[in-house]
Structure formats: structure tokens, C-alpha cells
Structure 1
């Protein structure tokens, strides 16, 4: 009887999760179907009309999108912003996290307290001062300027996350490596990084998604030649309020890339999120 109850309970939970998944996927499916319809068909009815009139669907919008110089340039700008930012944040945070966790140097605890305190600083506070500084340095309106801002703002959380993860590693493991003659660099690259791969992958996913979907920082620090896809789509809305044949495929492309990145590193992401939850 208990087995029957457990089976029914699991069935209810699974059915509920299926319903939640379908509800969550509905806007994505609607966006994809809208991206395959012409502006005239969109003006006549909602995306669900494709089930009764499948002839509306075509890839003409995507062909036009690839020929749109502004959209394609913005897409590559997004890649040039997101990838270097993610790599720099992960590399710097991994080095700093290992130093804060296992190296003894003057002021370590005080410096780490400053890093933790920076977690509560809102991004809006630094926009105007940094914009003025970038203007003086000639970085305002450039891709390197946007990358530097994202790196600086993403490092406190990244260092905090990796330091706590590295600190949970067994001390005996690192001491044994030192006794065998391993240098700190060798221990870091050959021992700490492989063990910390789940946390590093989780951090990379978080950082990439945040930068890829960002519009506030890019809206202020990027100009027309360096603006990412989010800003370009926003400008399309401002200039042409009804050009759904451009906005829908552009938004879907902008959405697909983070989803692909997430599923590519899903296994490491789950391990990193669950790390430390069970002793």
C-alpha cells in the first residue's frame, strides 16, 4: 500500500513538473513560431494560428536577419564582450580564490573582507564615475571599456564563490603535494583546478549569462559601433515599433545562445550548485 502511495505521489509530482515545463516553454515556442511568420501574418493573428495555417512558416526572416548589418555586427559585438569577460573573470577569480584560501600573506583577511563588502555595492553606483574615468582614458564607447566594467563588477562574487569552494578542499591533500615538491603554481594547475571544475563551470555560466543578457551597462558604455545585441534590439523597437519580422528572430537568436551554453555545461553546473550542500 505504501508503495502504491509513493508511486501515486511520484506520478503527481512528475505530472506537475511536466505542466510547469510546458508552461515555461510556451513563450519560447511562441517566439520561435513568430520568428517564422511574416509581418503581414503577424498583424492578422497570433502565433497559434500556424497550427491551422502552417503555410505561414518560412525562414525568410532569418535570411533577412543575416543580411541586416546592424544585427550581425551587434551579435559579434556581444560575443566579443561576453567571451573575454567570462574568461578574464574566471581566470582572475580562480587565482585570487586560491590565494585567499591557501596562501598566507599580509592583510589577507582584510582584503577578503573588502571583496565581500563589494558584493553589496549596486552596479548603478559605479556607472557615472566609471563613465567619466573611461572618457578620460579613451575607453568610453568601446568594447574594451564594456569588458573592463563587467570584469570589475563580476570579480567580487566570483572571488567569493571560488575562495569558499577551494577552502573546502582537504588541507592534507595540498600539504602532501607540497611535501612531494610541488610548487604553488603546479598545485594550482594540476590539483586545485581539476577538483574545482564544477564551481568554475558554474561561475562561467553565471557570468556569461549575465553579460550576454545585459543591457544597462552596454546602453551607457557602448556606442553604435560597439553595442551588443540587446541594445540593438532595443533601438529597433524605438525606431520601428511594428517590425516583428526583425525583432522576433533577433530575440530568438539572442535567447538560443545562452540556452545552448547552459545545456552544454549542465552537468558541471549542477555539481557546482550542489557542492558543499552535503558533508
Structure 2
């Protein structure tokens, strides 16, 4: 009786839980990237983004004491601040790498030759010596400190408004648009014609062509990169926008044709036959009837193709080779940041989040067509 039409399944709760889990799993990386883009490099290096709202404890690297020497009561004194982190509180400190937590804040460390060091909880130090330390190497101090949660917009200021970074990212942004927009439109135009022919036009070997298109869906992208690059170089379109447009078109056509053909086959047959009886040509049927009715499928593939080409790195690396950086796309620019900035993960997180802003906007603007296009032809 549980399968009676109109009666809710007893497993509805399981479906809801599964969907909620999947949504959380998909959102977690994006949320983590967003939070990391507002954290400092030290925070990212010492704790995960999920601890960003809690007090952070970290072992600071060795800090060499420095400052102006002043003579007080027969002693030579140097005072200063170990670090600039506002609100940070020293828990333990030491003067040797073998025991970095030897002293509590306020305790005095007795060093050789009549020298002493003390560090308070705020990170202020006082170094004293019986002899002048001018020109001499002062001792190092290791600290274990805790600091309150800290967020900053300096990462975005550096990425978007710093002259060098903003210029390179802006150029990469427009280069990515130059690659993505044509690489999305061209396969849609070609696939729409091919899908209509495979769905509604009778010609020899049509079934074989459909099977061939389905077979192309499983061809690995990496398998065709080098042969296709050699072909592009041989005909003179390699290392440029035209080559990368055609590469994305070729790799995207099998799915586009398959998706659009399945949708067009599901359109009412009577509409097509009535148009033919009224004297409409195949081109008129295609442009005035099929295309308007197929908009959900077209939008669905456009979302996929736009996201793939926008986030692509491999095809851009192979077909858009430019030593001067004038055609560098955003994914490659982020890789360059990783290479030139080393461990500046806060800048990389910010650049990555900036790069996903456009795909997110496109997805949310057209998501209502996504399911309708994907379910095309699944129900008759």
C-alpha cells in the first residue's frame, strides 16, 4: 500500500537528509575559501578556517631582539615589542629552541655575561646587560601566544586595488571572458543544428551518428590534447584565442549534441508536422519553433560550458601559450601567484574567491533552467 499513487513514501526523511548532506558538502569548500580570504597569513598557517571565530594559539618563529640601547642605573637596557598583533597574549616564552616554553610571562631569564631578558603577556620585552651591546648580536626569543579572532580586508585591497596585482588580475579577468564567451556560444550554435538534424530529419546512418556522438562522451580530454595542438600548429592557429575556442568547441560538442537532441526528441511531433504541412522549411521550423522551445536545454548546456571553460586550466595551458602574460586566464594567474608568492595563502584564497564570483552569478541566474534541461527526454 505504500506505493499507492499520491501517498508519500515513508523514506521521504531519508531523501531530505541526503540532500541536506550533499548541499553541506558542496558548500563547505566555498565557505572555507570565503572565510580564508579575510584571514591573515599567520592565521591560515596555524589553524583551519573553522577555528576562525575562536581564540588562536600559535608558536611564533624565533624573534631576534633589537632596539635602541639606553643606560639606566649602571645597566644597559633595550626595550621593545616582539610582535605587532593587537590583542595577542603571550602564554609561554623561551630563549632556546630546545625549550621554547621555559618561562611564564613576567619571569626573568638569566643569560650569560650578566644579561637578562623578560617578556610580559603583551609581548613587551626588557633586555639588560652589564656591558654595552652595541654591534653585538642580541639573543632570540621564542613565544607561544594566543590572539583573538581577527579578520581583515587587506587581502582584497591588495588584490583589487594594488597597482601590480589589480592590473594583472584585471587583464586575466578580461582574457578569461574573451575565452569563455565565444567558447560557450560557438558549440551551442553548432550543436543546435546537429541536434535538430539527428532528432527530426531522416537521412542514412543517422543512428550510427547518434551512437558515435554518445561514444565521444567517454573519450578522455587528455587523450586529444597533443594531437589537436599539433594540428593547430600545422594550420597556424595554435597559441591564440582561435585555437582555444575551437578546442573547447570540439571537447564540448558531444555533450551539447547529446543533451539538445534528447530534449528536441521530446518536443510534440504534431507541431513539427503541422509546420511542414503549412509549407515551413526546415530552417524556419528550426529557428521559429525548435529554438524557442529548446531554451531550457540551451541554457542548461550554457551553464555547464561556461563553468568548464571559466575554470579551465589545462586547455588554456596547452592552447593559449603566451610568455608575455597578455593572454593569461584567471586560473593560470592564480597558479602564477602561487609560484611567485610562495606561502601567501591569504592572497591565493582571495584571488580564488574573486575568480568564482562570475560563475556563481551565472549559475544562480540560470539555475531554474538547469534541471529542466537535464531531465529532457527522461519522461514521455
C-alpha offsets along residues 215-256 of structure 1, whole Å, 9 cap, x if unaligned?
211121122332321222123223333121321011112223
TM-score with structure 2 length normalisation? 0.65
Q: How many angstroms apart in 2 are the aligned matches of 1:106 and 1:50?
A: 64
Residue matched to 2:154: 60
Q: How many angstroms apart in 2 are the aligned matches of 1:148 and 1:44?
A: 45
Unaligned runs of 5+ in 2: 3-7, 56-147
CA contact (8 A) 2:33 2:349 kept: yes
Residue matched to 2:268: 170
Residue matched to 2:292: 194
CA contact (8 A) 1:94 1:159 kept: yes
User: Which structure is higher in strand share?
Assistant: 2
TM-aligned CA deviation for residue 128 of structure 1: 1.2
1:74 correspondence with 2:175: no
Q: How many angstroms apart in 1 are the aligned matches of 2:293 and 2:175?
A: 33
Moved more, 81-90 or 121-130: 121-130
Residue matched to 1:214: 312
Alignment match of 2:335 (pick from 234, 243, 248): 234
What aligned pairs does 1:1-279 form with structure 2 within 5 A after superposition? 10=12, 14=16, 17-52=19-54, 56-66=150-160, 67=162, 68=165, 69-105=167-203, 107-223=205-321, 224-279=325-380
Q: How many angstroms apart in 2 are the aligned matches of 1:111 and 1:21?
A: 38
CA contact (8 A) 1:77 1:143 kept: no
TM-score with structure 1 length normalisation? 0.86
How many residues were matched structurally? 275
TM-aligned CA deviation for residue 59 of structure 1: 2.5
C-alpha offsets along residues 75-126 of structure 1, whole Å, 9 cap, x if unaligned?
2222211111111111110111112222234554444444333333222222
Q: RMSD of the alignment, in Å?
A: 2.6
CA contact (8 A) 1:141 1:226 kept: no
Q: How many angstroms apart in 1 are the aligned matches of 2:225 and 2:11?
A: 51
Q: How many angstroms apart in 2 are the aligned matches of 1:241 and 1:267?
A: 41
User: Which structure is higher in helix share?
Assistant: 1
Distance 1:182 1:134, change over 3 A: same
CA contact (8 A) 2:192 2:260 kept: yes
C-alpha offsets along residues 159-215 of structure 1, whole Å, 9 cap, x if unaligned?
122122212223221010122232222211221112212211211112112212222
Secondary structure (helix, strand or coil) at the match of 1:93 reads helix
Q: How many angstroms apart in 1 are the aligned matches of 2:281 and 2:297?
A: 23
Moved more, 204-213 or 219-228: 219-228
Q: Which has the larger radius of gyration?
A: 2
Higher relative contact order (CA 8 A, sep 6+): 1
Q: How many angstroms apart in 1 are the aligned matches of 2:319 and 2:157?
A: 30
